[in-house]
Amino acid sequence: MKSLFFAWILLIPGVVFSDMVDTTGFSITADQRLNKILESNDLEFRLPDQYANGVSFSSYYHKKEIYLYSFLPKCNASDFMTKFKKMKSKKSQAHLLINAEINADRRDLEKVYPTQSILIDMNQQVSNSLLFKRSGDYVVYDVKKQLVTKTGNIFGKKVLPKECDIPYVTYSAESSDFRNKVVPAMIKSCIACHSGGTDLSYFQSIDKIRSWKNMMLRTIRLNRMPPGADSYYSHLESDITPQDLFEVTKWLEAGAPASAEDAQYYEQYIKRGGRGKRNLDDLKDAEEIVLFSGIEEKVSASGGDFYKHYTTKEKTTKDYYFSFFDVSVNPTVAHHMALHHSMEPFPEVGLNGNPLDGSTMLLYGNNRIPTTAAYNGKSIPAFKFQDPNIIHISRTSGISFAPPGTIYFIPKGSYLNFEIHYSPSGKDEVSKNALKIYASDNLKNLRMLKRFSMMPNDGSVVARPNEKDSVVTVNYILPEAMDLKAYGLHMHYRGKAGKLYATYPGQKNRELIFSIPTYQYKFQRTSFVNDVIHLPKGTMLTHEMHYDNSKENFSNPDPSKEVRIGTSIVHDENYLPRFFYMEVVK
């Protein structure tokens, strides 16, 4: 019974042991105890550092040993760094610092530690699973043996002050916490996206959530969910804050507790649509217009990815001002959807999206302007392009909203094209597709959302064979002032991360204004800022994308191949940051 009790107590999230030595009385060493925990929780993680770089534990599997340290800057930091520099002298070792403070100030960390990466464990999942209790606790992981071979504290037996203790936080299972903190956070973090098709089955009830609890915690730990931009740097309106995610993870770690009244409250909320204030009731004064319906596409299990375009033969008979889409697709095989409008009929196009009749009109890349770019510091050709006729729709099925205060606009006399990019899921599937909008003339005084992109020329190399971190940048100087409202990325399987910098007129130093440190090809999102980021005339935008063409990238189809800009998901890569800005409808 003792051993069963011990195995059970190991798996309780939030348990913080009194020291890095055995105190259980069950004749098991600290290393053995830690390895048991890691067998259950899995050591793999992905965390951002103070520079908004996403760092994965698996990125260091090529090393012989990985040292993981808990680090609190307020605890004897200078003494810590002196000892730390002595320990990280061997090239066969990787040394990672992990800060488990809930509100770690990343910009201050960047100022004080400009050269040493410090990982931010904002949900305390990683630090807790490593049994870190104090600053200076460390774990040594043997990559070949897949075992922890040593634990200790960098300060030795020195008595440390109270500020060296890691301030772990546990969930308070009160109804007010669940309703006022957890549910609103879960709406933003999970339900807002998983509200279409069958995806909401994860969140239909508290019992359902409990059954998926370990999977949810793991995806958060790996930064696979929720996808999106780094809210610390970009002040996002509709994205998830670290505190939102913290509320969800602490509740899940506590076993997803909820009273009968809480469970009933939650299920009633889900039945109402699970969309918070922005639901179908907001559309009561709008005209429902079906743009496309009855489209059914078969996607084979092993077929290559392909684009299909569905066009209207008739012009629109009035201006459409709208802020809501309703998209119906199979999100398992529909990688992304886009709505195009044009004052001329759309030509027949091939699977790469270009016209078959040799015309110059492109669905993407209109009005190309040459600009400067670099691949790992070496100059490559690139361009900026304006797409006034594209309204991009996210990958998810269901209702999609324009950000508050903005609208989409399709002028009278437009032809429409509904583009769907399909990719196989591993089994034969069918996608039943439809697209509706909800138009209202009452919206005409709001500002229109438009977009542009910048990218290297087709065929440009963005990653050599087995290259772990290639960096591709494109610069563009704004000829006019711009109010930036949203930002998103588009890469393929080797995409790793993206950042957007602004160098304002008269300034030498650039400012990081957007970051997506853990990009995921299957879960792209456009992230909207709370107000706007005003960029004056003459601002230089520098967009930076990172690719991982190594075998450590588990999504990589073939690390041995050189990767160039192109449309094929498996063989090529893409570099397509999306900049959304606001403009008055003319």
Place of tokens 């610092």: 97
Q: What is the pTM of this model?
A: 0.77
For the segment 266-271, the average pLDDT, to the nearest whole number, is 77
Helix and strand element counts for the chain (H, E): 12, 28
| Cβ atoms 123, 222 nearer than 8 A | no
List Cα–Cα distances, 386 to 310, 369, 389, in angstroms: 22, 9, 9
pLDDT digits (tens, 9 = 90+) for 503-558: 999 999 999 988 888 887 777 777 878 788 999 999 999 999 999 999 888 788 89
Q: Would you tell me how many other CB atoms lie within 10 Å of the CB of residue 332?
A: 19
Report the amino acid identity of residue 352: N
Q: Which residues pair with 564 in a beta bridge?
A: 461
Residue 133 CA to chain centroid, in angstroms?
Answer: 29
| Cβ atoms 91, 112 nearer than 8 A | no
Place of tokens 């008269």: 506
Contacts of 66 (CB under 8 A, 6+ apart): 57, 60, 93, 94, 95, 96, 140, 141, 143
Cα 55-59-64 angle, rounded to 5 deg? 130
Which pLDDT does position 281 carry in this prediction?
53
The first and second tokens of residue 445, run together, are 């005084």
Q: Would you tell me how many other CB atoms lie within 10 Å of the CB of residue 47?
A: 25
Which pLDDT does position 365 carry in this prediction?
62
Collapsing DSSP to helix, strand or coil, 387 comes out as coil
Q: In what order do the strands lie in the sheet with 306-311?
A: 306-311, 415-422, 334-342, 390-393
Nearest to 422 by CA among 311, 329, 327, 524: 329
| Cβ atoms 238, 403 nearer than 8 A | yes
| Percent of the chain's residues with pLDDT above 90 | 33
The first and second tokens of residue 94, run together, are 């990787």
Q: 471: buried, middle or exposed (CB in 10 Å: 19+, 13-18, 0-12)?
A: middle
Q: Give the C-alpha separation, 261 to 264, whole Å.
A: 5
pLDDT digits (tens, 9 = 90+) for 280-296: 555 667 888 999 999 99
Question: Rounded to the nearest 10 degrees, what angle do helices 242-253 and 213-221 cross at?
Answer: 140
What CA dihedral angle connects 87, 89, 95 and 97, to 10 degrees? 60
Contacts of 387 (CB under 8 A, 6+ apart): 364, 365, 366, 451, 452, 453
Collapsing DSSP to helix, strand or coil, 44 comes out as coil
Which pLDDT does position 41 carry in this prediction?
60
Nearest to 41 by CA among 14, 17, 11, 71: 11
**Cis peptide preceding 226, ω within 30 of 0:** yes
Which pLDDT does position 5 carry in this prediction?
31
Q: Give the C-alpha separation, 100 to 393, whole Å.
A: 37
| Banded pLDDT at 274 (limits 50, 70, 90) | very low
Which pLDDT does position 28 carry in this prediction?
52
| Banded pLDDT at 334 (limits 50, 70, 90) | confident
Which pLDDT does position 24 carry in this prediction?
33
| Banded pLDDT at 357 (limits 50, 70, 90) | low
pLDDT digits (tens, 9 = 90+) for 107-135: 889 899 999 999 999 889 999 999 999 99
Q: Give the C-alpha separation, 398 to 329, whole Å.
A: 8
Q: Give the C-alpha separation, 72 to 54, whole Å.
A: 20
| Cβ atoms 270, 204 nearer than 8 A | yes
Q: Give the C-alpha separation, 230 to 499, whole Å.
A: 10
Collapsing DSSP to helix, strand or coil, 517 comes out as coil
Pairing status of strand 118-120 against strand 93-99: parallel
pLDDT digits (tens, 9 = 90+) for 204-260: 788 888 888 888 888 888 887 887 778 777 666 666 777 888 889 999 999 999 999
